[in-house]
């Protein structure tokens, strides 16, 4: 089985209380037709987020004239955060950058051609023949999906080393001319951060004596007819959020049968799972997950704490929770754990780990 050798989670540099961000955004949205600043405050309070980190200092957002300026900022900050996350994960793994054979990157908050991974090769010391796989458009599901795809690659390369890097700068997508409920909720829910995971193929891990969590299996599910539940509309001003109020209902209906069926294929039930590593989609989504899987009260405590402290970091969030879990629960117990996320499509990705 593919082995997780190191995980690093980093946040953007500029941290603010939610109330500060809400007040600043209300002032910018009023000229666009925000009917009542109190509405924005109520919606932001309901997200359960207490603090968020931003890619730029708060006053700098008013200076972003258009999508091009926001995307230029994304390229600069994403390169810096990505380098920090990747370097820290390699240090934790004890492996040099030159050992990396595969680099999978995922993002949905900015675009770059050449892709972000090319900017990281020189700055981190990766080999120029590293095999790159940039993923775009997976959104919140990207951390789980990227982990599963990298494990698939290393299953075919058991002597190899791979890195998954997720970088999301959600604040650079905010639309200050959009007073729809979806945009108002999103502006209080999402934060900025990155995470990296170093993984080794089975033979390489055995050679190095690494006892990290093992990727036992993975699966994916796409739910037809839900394409407008979550995602982006792309227009002249950039990425405009699509976020349906039906997302919690979709999760409540679809996730339970998928998780139970997947676990049953491996002789497990939900009661056998020692660690639940779940993406923090939002309070109502977390509640829907909890109910759909009939989980013990504390099962999603780290997920709720991550949402409160950092907001939803899109694809990076589930990897932040993976890092938190590893710090609190050292690997080597051989207990089963489940890492999962949902995202645009609407879809889910499940990764069964052996802790």
Summarised one tens digit per residue, pLDDT across range 215-254 is 999 999 999 999 999 998 888 888 888 888 999 999 999 9
Q: Grade residue 101 by pLDDT with cuts at 50, 70 and 90.
A: very high
For residue 152, the model assigns a pLDDT of: 97
Radius of gyration, CA atoms only, the chain: 19
Q: How far apart are CA 84 and CA 316, in angstroms?
A: 14
* 304 C-beta neighbours (distance < 10 Å), count: 17
Q: Is the pLDDT of residue 29 over 90?
A: no
Average pLDDT in the chain: 95
Mean predicted confidence (pLDDT) in 42-71: 95
Residue 346 is predicted with a pLDDT of 94
d(CA 344, CA 349): 11
Closest CA to 179 of 18, 16, 344, 28: 28
Q: In this model, does residue 200 exceed pLDDT 80?
A: yes
What is the pLDDT averaged over residues 151-167? 98
Which residues are CB-contacts of 320 (< 8 A; sequence separation ≥ 6)?
9, 193, 195, 306, 310, 313
pLDDT confidence band for 324 (50 / 70 / 90): very high
- The yes-or-no verdict on residue 54 having pLDDT over 80 is yes
Per-residue confidence band for 33, with pLDDT thresholds at 50, 70 and 90:
confident
In this structure, CATH architecture of domain 1-355: 3-Layer(aba) Sandwich (3.40)
Note the pLDDT of residue 310. 98
CA torsion 185→291→277→286, rounded to 10°?
A: 10
| pLDDT value at 31 more than 80 | no
Q: Please give the share of the chain, as a percent, with pLDDT higher than 70.
A: 100
Closest to 102 in 3D by CA, of 200, 4, 203, 206? 200
Asked about 170 being catalytic, the answer comes back as: no
Mean pLDDT throughout 100-117?
A: 96
Q: Is residue 30 pLDDT above 80, yes or no?
A: no
Number of alpha helices (DSSP H) and beta strands (DSSP E) in the chain: 11, 13
- Which of 14-23, 24-33, 226-235 comes out lowest in average pLDDT? 24-33
**Interval 261-320: pLDDT, tens:** 999 999 999 999 999 999 999 999 999 999 999 999 999 999 999 999 999 999 999 999
pLDDT mean over 122-135: 95
- E strands, 223-326, where? 230-235, 238-243, 275-278
Average pLDDT over residues 48-66: 95
Question: With bands split at pLDDT 50, 70 and 90, how would you rate the model's confidence at 36?
Answer: confident
Instruction: Assess whether pLDDT exceeds 80 at residue 188.
Output: yes
**238 beta partners:** 235
**How does strand 161-169 pair with strand 102-107?**
parallel
The answer to whether 250 touches 292, Cβ cutoff 8 Å, is: no
Listed by start position, the domains of the chain span: 1-355
Q: Write down the catalytic residue from 140, 170, 200, 347.
A: 140
Report the pLDDT averaged over residues 175-183: 88
Q: How far apart are CA 240 and CA 171, in angstroms?
A: 12
Mean local confidence (pLDDT), 44-49: 96
Helix, strand, coil share of the chain (percent; to 5): 45, 25, 30
């Amino acid at each position: 089985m593919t082995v997780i050798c190191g995980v690093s989670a980093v946040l953007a540099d500029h941290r603010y209380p939610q109330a500060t961000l809400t007040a600043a955004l209300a002032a910018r949205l009023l000229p666009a037709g925000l009917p009542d600043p109190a509405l924005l405050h109520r919606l932001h309070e309901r997200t359960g987020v207490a603090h968020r980190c931003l890619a730029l200092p708060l006053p700098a957002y008013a200076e972003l004239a258009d999508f091009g300026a926001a995307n230029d900022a994304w390229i600069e900050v994403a390169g810096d955060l990505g380098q920090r996350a990747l370097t820290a994960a390699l240090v934790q793994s004890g492996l040099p950058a030159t050992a990396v054979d595969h680099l999978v990157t995922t993002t949905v908050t900015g675009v770059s051609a050449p892709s972000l991974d090319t900017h990281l090769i020189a700055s981190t010391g990766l080999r120029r023949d590293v095999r790159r796989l940039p993923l775009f458009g997976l959104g919140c599901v990207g951390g789980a999906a990227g982990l599963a795809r990298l494990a698939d690659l290393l299953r075919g390369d058991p002597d190899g080393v791979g890195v998954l890097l997720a970088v999301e700068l959600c604040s650079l997508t905010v639309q200050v001319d959009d007073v729809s409920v979806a945009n108002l909720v999103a502006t209080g829910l999402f934060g900025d951060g990155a995470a990296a995971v170093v993984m080794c193929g089975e033979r390489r891990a055995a050679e190095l004596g690494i006892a990290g969590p093992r990727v036992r299996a993975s699966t994916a599910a796409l739910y037809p007819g839900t394409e407008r539940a979550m995602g982006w509309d792309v227009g002249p001003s950039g990425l405009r959020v699509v976020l349906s109020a039906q997302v919690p209902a979709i999760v409540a209906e679809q996730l339970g049968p998928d998780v139970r069926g997947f676990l049953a294929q491996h002789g497990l039930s939900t009661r056998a799972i020692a660690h639940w590593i779940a993406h923090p989609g939002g309070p109502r989504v977390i509640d829907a997950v909890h109910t759909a899987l009939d989980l013990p009260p504390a099962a999603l405590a780290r997920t709720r704490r991550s949402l409160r402290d950092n907001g939803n970091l899109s694809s990076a969030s589930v990897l932040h929770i993976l890092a938190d879990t590893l710090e609190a629960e050292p690997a080597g117990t051989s207990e089963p754990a489940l890492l999962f996320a949902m995202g645009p499509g609407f879809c889910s990705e499940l990764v069964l780990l052996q802790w």
